[in-house]
Structure 1
Amino acid sequence: MRISAPFGSFLLAAFASVASGAPRTLKLRQSIAPPRNWVDLGPAPPTHVIPLRIALPQPRFPELEEHLTEISDPFHERYGEHLSKEDVEALVAPHPSSVNAVHEWLESHGIRKEACHRSPAGDWVTVRLPVAQAEKMLGTEFRMWKHTQDGDVLVRTTEYSLPAHLDKHIELIQPTTAFNRAKGQHTTFRFSPVPDVAPSSLSDDKISVEGSGVTVDPSCNTTITVSCLKQLYNAVGYVPKATNKNAIALTGYLEEFANFADLQQFYADQVPAAVGSSFDVVLINGGQNNQTLDEAGPEADLDVQFGLGISFPTPGTFYSTGGRPPFIPDANTPENTNEPYQDHKIPQVISTSYADDEQTVPVDFARRVCGEFAQLGARGVSLLFSSGDGGVGDGDPDPATQTCFTNDGKNQTKFIPLFPPSCPFVTAVGGTVHIPEVAADFSGGGFSNYFLRPIWQQVAVGKFLASLPKGTYAGLFNPLGRAIPDVSAQSNFFRIFFQGRAVHIGGTSAAAPSFAAFVALLNDARIAAGKPSLGFLSPLIYALNGVGFHDITAGNAPGCGTPGFNATAGWDPVTGFGTPDFGKLKDIVLKF
C-alpha cells in the first residue's frame, strides 16, 4: 500500500511516451480546461525536476473492497478481522504484464530500474525527471501556474498523452493535471487572543444536556477545553489501559509545525498529568520539524494539543509533510523517501484537517487516492477528515466571496464538496457550537460529484433527501453522491497555546482531531478487552443509526448564496449523525 501522508503527497504523480525502444504514436490520455483562479506564467524551466508518479492498475482491488465491506460491518461474522500489510499489498499489486510494459517504456527513455522507486505493492512507480524529458515522454508542455488569491505557484500541464499500447497498463500519471492543494480548514480565520487565566471547570451551576444525563461547566459556552469535551461527550473518568498497543496520529502540511513548548504550556493548563510527555514526529516529502517558537503553526498546535490532550496517555505521532509552494525554478523538489504507512505497526486513528475543492482533483486521481484510504481501512485504521468550513460552498469561510462555479469551463453554479472528505472510505467530521449544541454555520457538508453514495448510507441519507421539499436546490447538488459529513463535534472557541500564549481558535479542523481522540479512547477500550481496533468507522456509524450520538437538530450552514442545508432529526449534511456520547459508544463497541 502506498499513500505517504494523508494529504500533502497525494499531489505527486507522473508521465508517458514510447516503449520497446521504437517510437510509438502518442494517444491523448487526459485534457482539462485551465482551472479557475490559476494564471499561466509561461513555460516551466526545462531543468526543473518533477517527481512523477505512475499508477499501475490494481486488478484485484474489487476483492480488497469486498474484504473491507465485510470486516467493517458490525453485524458481519468477520467484523474486525483486519488484513495484514502483506494481504493488502497482494490485493493491490499490478499484473506482471503492466510492470514489464511500464519498465520497458521507461528504459526506452534511458530510465533504468535502479532510478525508479516502487511502492511495496508495486502499484506506484516514481521517477524524478527534468521538465524537458517529462515533456518529451508525455507529449506535452509543463507551465508555471500562479493562484490569483494566495500566490501559490505550481508546475502543471492541462493535458498529457501516452503510447496507445500503455492504455491498459497505466491508470494515471501525476503531477500533471492535478491543481489541487492541501488547504487547511479555517483555523486562522477564527483566531483571537484570550486571557491567560484558564476558565474554571468547577462551577456548581452546570448546564444539563437534555436527554443525555450529561452536565457541562457553563464556561464551556465561551471557551472549549479538554475538560469541556470530556464532560460534554461523556468521557469523564475514563483512563486508557492499552497504551502499549494503541496510538493516534495527526497530520500537518504547509509548513505547519507542532511546537513542543506550546504543548507543555497546554498540558500545564489543561492536562497536568501529561506535563513532560511528548509525541513522535515523522517527516514526509521534505517535511520539517522547526521548533522555533515563531514558526509554530496554529493548525498543527490545535491538532496535537487536543488530539493528544483528550486521548492522553495514548501515544501520538505528528506527520509533517513538505512540498509547499511557491515553486522555486532552481530548487529540486525533495524526494519522498519516507513511507510511514508501510510500517507493520501504524496508528489506529489518523486525523487530517486539510482538503481542497473536489473539482480541482482529476477524477481518476481522486478515485485512486480514495482507494489508498481503503487500504488503510482494511488494515484497521480509522481515517478522519474535517468536512470543511464553507457550508455547501467552496471552502471559503466568507459566504460573500465564495465562488460556486464548476471548474470545467462551463461555469455552472453548483455546491462544491471537498476532497478527501468526499471519499467514501474516510469519515468526515462536521462542526457544532455552543451548549446545548447547534450546527456551526460554517460546517462543511453536501454531496460528492465523484463518488456514488455507498450502500451503508442509503437509508439515512435517503430519508433526509425525502424530507426536502420537492425541487430544493435542484441542479445544485448530486442527490446520488456520497454524502458528508458523517458525524460532528465542537468546532469553535478552542483554547490552545500558540507561540507561547493562550488563544481561541476554531473551524472543523478543531472538530476532526477531537473526534479522532474519542475514537482512540474507544479503540483503547476494545484493545484492552482483547478486541481489534474499530478500523473503517462509517459502516458502524450508519449501522447504529444515531444510537450513541447526540442528534443536532438546530442550525444551518449557508453557502453559494443560499441558506444551505438545515440540521434536522437524524442524519443531515451539516452535522451528520451528530456528536459522540463516549460512554454509550464504549458500551456498544465492546459488544461487537
Structure 2
Amino acid sequence: MQFLGLALSLLLVTSILAAPPNDYALRIKETVSPPRGWAKHSIPPPDHNIALRIGLQRPNFPVLERHLYEVSSPDHERYGQHLSKEEVEALVAPHQESIDSVNEWLFSHGFKESDLVKSPAKDWVTVKVPVSLAEKILDATYYVWKHIESGDSLVRTTGYSLPSHLHHHVDVIQPTTLFGRFKKSTSTIIWSDKSSAVSDAANGDLAPIVDATSGVTVDASCNENITISCLQQIYNIVDFVPSARGNSIGITGYLNQSANVADLQQFFVEQRPDAVNSTFQFISVNGGQNDQTPANAGDEANLDTQYAFGLSYPISPTFYSTAGSPPFIPDSSPPENTNEPYTAWLDFVLSQADVPLAISTSYGDDEQTVPFSFAKRACEDFAQLGARGVSLMFSSGDKGVGDGDENPATQQCFTNDGRNKTEFIPAFPASCPYTTAVGGTYKFPEVAVPFSGGGFSNYFNRPRYQDAAVGKYLHALPKGLYNGLFNPNGRAFPDVAAQSYRFRIILKGRPALIGGTSASSPTFAGFVALLNDVRLKAGRPSLGFLNPFLYSTGLAGLNDITSGNNAGCGTPGFNSTVGWDPVTGLGTPNFGKLKEIVLRR
C-alpha cells in the first residue's frame, strides 16, 4: 500500500509537470462585429494561403513619439534633426523576450526559422499558412465574406485567440478581423473634349477674378476647370522654379490603378510643356503592375501623378504600385489573396534607405471598419516615416461626415459595434495624428467643397498640437449641436485643404474632368515638395512631419476658408469658419508666404 501511494504521488507530479502551464491556455485576443454591408458567403478552401502578419509589441514607441515631436516642432531646439532609418528601427524593436516567445510558439506548430520573414526592426513576423492551419493555431473560423454593394470578397474571421503568455508580446495579427476595403477617394469622371480650360485662359477671353481678401488674381476659367496654371495662380506660386538636389516626391497606387505614361506626356504638352519627355520612376511593391495598355489607364493614378508631378517638376518623382485587391477568387491558382496591399506598401517603404520626402495617398476607409489594433500599428508606422523626415499626405475622404451615400439626406451612419448607434463616420488613415489630412475646396475665391471629409476620430485622442485651434472651434460650436454624434476629444481632421473639383486630366488619350479629395492630397503634396526645395536649397533639412509646423508658425502661410459645409448623415454637417474647422482644416497654402516662413528655422 505504501508503495502504491508513492507511485500515485509520482504519477500526479509527473502529470503536473507534463501539463502546459496556465499561461499557455488559449485566450481571446480580439473579436469584432462584422461591418455593415458584409455577409458570410462560403467556406474558403482549406489550402487557401494566408500571409499571416504578427505585430510584436513596441515598448519604446513612446520614446520614438517624443523624438518625432521634437524634430517636427519649430519651437524645439532639435527641429529638423530627423532620425536615421537605423535609429528609428532601434526605437520600434520589440524586447528579445517577445521575439523568443513568438518564435517558440510558431516552432511548436511546425514552422522553422527559414519560414519566418521578419521586418528590419523585427517588430513584424510574417508566415505563409493555409487557412486550415491558421484556424488551428488561432482557434479561429475563417469564412469568405462578401460585400453586398460592391461584390468584393475577403477571407476573414470575426475573432481569434492566442496563448495567454503571448498577449503582452503581440499587438495584432492580420489578416483576421480587418474588413476594410481601402477605397479610392475620387468622384465621378466627366468627359470633356473641350479645351476651354486652357484656351480661354490663354486668350484672355474672360475677365480675371480677384480675391478681395488676399489680393490674388486668377483666370476666370479656373472656376470651370482646374489646371496646373490655375493652382499656381490660386496658391501664389507663379514663376517659382525648383532646383535643389536631393528632393523627391512620391505617389502611392493601389487596386490595379496604372499611371499611363502616354497620358502623362499629353498632359505635359497641354499644361506643363517644359516637362515634356520627363517621366517618373516606377516601383513595383509585392508584384504591383503599371499596365501601359491605354484602356487600362487608371483615373486615380493619372490624376495623382499628373498633378503632383506636374506641380513639382523637375523634382524627382516616384510612383509606387502595390499589388493586392478584391475580389478574392477561390478558384484561382494558387488560391491566395490577402487583400491587404496597404500593409505591403508600409512594409516595403519602411525597409528602404531612401524614401521620397513628400508622399501622397488618395485611398482610405471608414475608421470603424479598421480594428483599433491594426489602426494603431499602421499609425505608428506613419510616425516612423515622419521621424525620418518624410511628409505624409492623405485624402480626408469624399463623404462629408457620412457613410458615402451620394444623397446626404438618405445616409445611414451607424456604428459597427453591434449597437447600431447613429454617429458621424470618421475616416482612416486621415484620423491618424501622425499624418496630414487634406480636405477639399472649389471655386475662387475658395469655399469648402460639400463632399470634403472631416470630423473627429473615435480611436485617437486629440494631439497637443491641435489643442488651441480645435479647442477654439469646439468652444464656438453651438451648445448641444450634434451631441453624441462625434467624439469632441478625438483627433480632428482635416488639417489643411486644397482645390478638389473638376480637375482637367488626360485619361485614355482624352481630356476628362475629375475630382475628390484625391485631387487635393496630391496637390498639397506638390506644394510641400516645392517648400522642401526652398529648405534644401538653403542647406536645411526637409519639413518632415508637417502638423506641428502647420498649427504653429505655418498658420500664417495658409488661406483661411470660412464658407461651406460638409453635409452627411441627414445633417448639414460641420461649417467652415474662421480658424480651424472640420471641413477645410486650417486652410489652403499660400506658397509666397510659406516659402519665407519655412526658412525661419
TM-score by length of 2: 0.93
2:8 aligned partner: none
Match of 1:69 in 2: 69
2:160 is the alignment partner of 1:151? no
1:570 corresponds in structure 2 to: 579
1:3 is matched with none
Counterpart of 1:463 in structure 2 is 472
SS of residue paired to 1:53? strand
Q: What's 1:225 paired with? A: 227
Instruction: Using the TM superposition, give the Cα deviation of residue 397 of structure 1 relative to its aligned residue in structure 2, in angstroms.
Output: 4.1
**Higher helix content, 1 or 2:** 2
Per-residue deviation, 1:208: 1.2
Question: Aligned with 2:106: secondary structure?
Answer: helix
Q: How does 1:72-221 map to 2 (within 5 A)?
A: 72-187=72-187, 189-196=188-195, 198-202=198-202, 203=204, 205-221=207-223
CA distance 1:545–1:314, change in 2 (3 Å): closer
- The separation in 1 between residues aligned to 2:404 and 2:428, in whole angstroms, is 11
Q: Cα distance, 1:190 vs. partner?
A: 4.5
Quote the residue 1:333 is aligned against.
336
Deviation string, structure 1 residues 202-242 (Cα, Å, up to 9, x no partner)? 32732112232321111111010000000110010001011
Please list the CA deviations of residues 170-205 of structure 1 after superposition, one character each: whole Å capped at 9, or x if unmatched: 111001001012101133x24333414534333273
Equivalent-residue separation in structure 2 for 1:22 and 1:63 (angstroms) = 33
Give the drift of 1:341: 3.3
After the TM superposition, which residues 289-300 of structure 1 pair with which residues of structure 2 at under 5 Å, given as runs? 289-300=290-301
CA distance in 2, matches of 1:135, 1:569: 53
Q: Does the CA contact (< 8 Å) of 1:20 and 1:108 recur in 2? A: no
Give yes or no for contact 1:223–1:494 (8 Å, CA) kept in 2. yes
| Residue 399 of structure 1: how far off its partner (Å) | 1.6
**Aligned mates of 2:241, 2:259 — CA distance in 1:** 25
3-state SS of paired residue (1:245): coil
User: 1:449 and 1:24 mapped to 2: Cα distance?
Assistant: 33
Residue 54 of structure 1 is matched in structure 2 by 54
Partners of 1:544 and 1:402 in 2: CA distance: 39
Q: Is 1:33–1:158's contact at 8 Å kept on the other side of the alignment? A: yes
SS at match of 1:339: helix
Mapped to 1, the partners of 2:564 and 2:23 lie a distance apart of 61
Native 8 Å contact 1:348 1:520 kept in 2: yes
SS in 2 for 1:52: strand
- Provide the C-alpha distance between the structure 2 equivalents of 1:21 and 1:346, rounded to a whole number of angstroms: 46
Looking at structure 2, the residues matched to 413 and 116 of structure 1 have their Cα atoms a distance apart, in angstroms, of 43
Q: Distance in 2 between matches of 1:539 and 1:332?
A: 46
Structure 2 counterparts to residues 497-512 of structure 1, below 5 A: 497-512=506-521
Q: Which residue of 1 aligns with 2:14?
A: none
Cα pair 1:555 1:566 within 8 Å, conserved: yes
Q: Conserved in 2, the CA contact under 8 Å of 1:196 and 1:501?
A: no
1:258 — aligned with what? 259
What is the correspondence of 1:185-584 to structure 2 with a 5 Å cutoff? Answer: 185-187=185-187, 189-196=188-195, 198-202=198-202, 203=204, 205-242=207-244, 244-329=245-330, 330=332, 331-333=334-336, 339-544=348-553, 546-584=555-593
Determine the C-alpha separation between the residues in 1 that align with 2:468 and 2:298: 41
Aligned residues of 2:362 and 2:394 also touching (Cα < 8 A): yes
**C-alpha displacement at 1:334, in angstroms?**
6.8
Q: Say if 1:583 and 1:526 are closer, same or farther in 2 by CA, change over 3 A.
A: same
CA separation of 1:108/1:267 partners in 2, compared to 1, >3 Å: closer, same or farther? same
Any idea what the Cα deviations from partners look like across 1:494-522, whole Å, max 9, x if unmatched? 00000110010001100000010000000
* Partners of 1:20 and 1:105 within 8 A in 2: no
Q: Which ranges of structure 1 fall in alignment gaps of 5 or more residues? A: 1-18
Q: Which runs of 5+ in 2 are unaligned?
A: 1-18, 339-343
Distance of aligned partners of 1:269 and 1:409 in 2 relative to their CA distance in 1, 3 Å threshold: same
Show CA shifts across 1:78-117 (max 9, x none): 0000000000000000100110111111111111111111
3-state SS of 2:170 partner = coil
Deviation of 1:482 (Å) = 0.4
Q: Which moved more, 1:198-207 or 1:140-149?
A: 198-207
Structure 1 match to 2:598:
589
Q: Distance in 2 between matches of 1:200 and 1:503?
A: 17
Q: Contact 1:447–1:478 (CA<8 Å) still a contact in 2? A: yes
Shift, 1:345, TM fit: 1.3
Deviations 1:132-177 (A, max 9, x none): 0000000011100000110000000001000111111111100100
- Structure 2 vs 1, CA of residues 334 and 328 (structure 1 numbering), >3 Å: closer, same or farther? closer
Residue 556 (structure 1) shift: 0.7
Give the drift of 1:128.
Answer: 0.6
Q: Distance in 1 between matches of 2:516 and 2:407?
A: 13
CA distance in 1, matches of 2:445, 2:24: 66
State the SS of the aligned residue for 1:137: helix
Whichever residue aligns with residue 75 of structure 1, its letter is: D
- Structure having the higher Rg: 2
Distance 1:206 1:139 in 2: 67
Aligned to 1:8: none
When the two chains are superposed, the root-mean-square deviation of aligned CA atoms in Å is 1.7
The 3-state SS of whatever aligns with 1:483 is strand
Query: Is the alpha carbon distance of 1:23 and 1:448 closer, same or farther for their aligned partners in structure 2, counting shifts above 3 Å?
Result: closer
SS of corresponding position for 2:555: coil
Contact 1:493–1:506 under 8 Å retained in 2: yes
Q: Deviations over 1:304-350 (max 9, x none)?
A: 00000000001111111111011111434379698233221110000
Q: In structure 2, do the counterparts of structure 1 residues 132 and 239 end up closer, same or farther at CA, with 3 Å as the change threshold?
A: same
CA distance in 1, matches of 2:53, 2:305: 31
Contact 1:43–1:141 (Cα < 8 Å) also in 2: no
Report how far residue 402 of structure 1 moved: 2.7
Superposed displacement of residue 401, structure 1: 4.6
Query: What is the one-letter code of the residue matched to 2:27?
Result: K
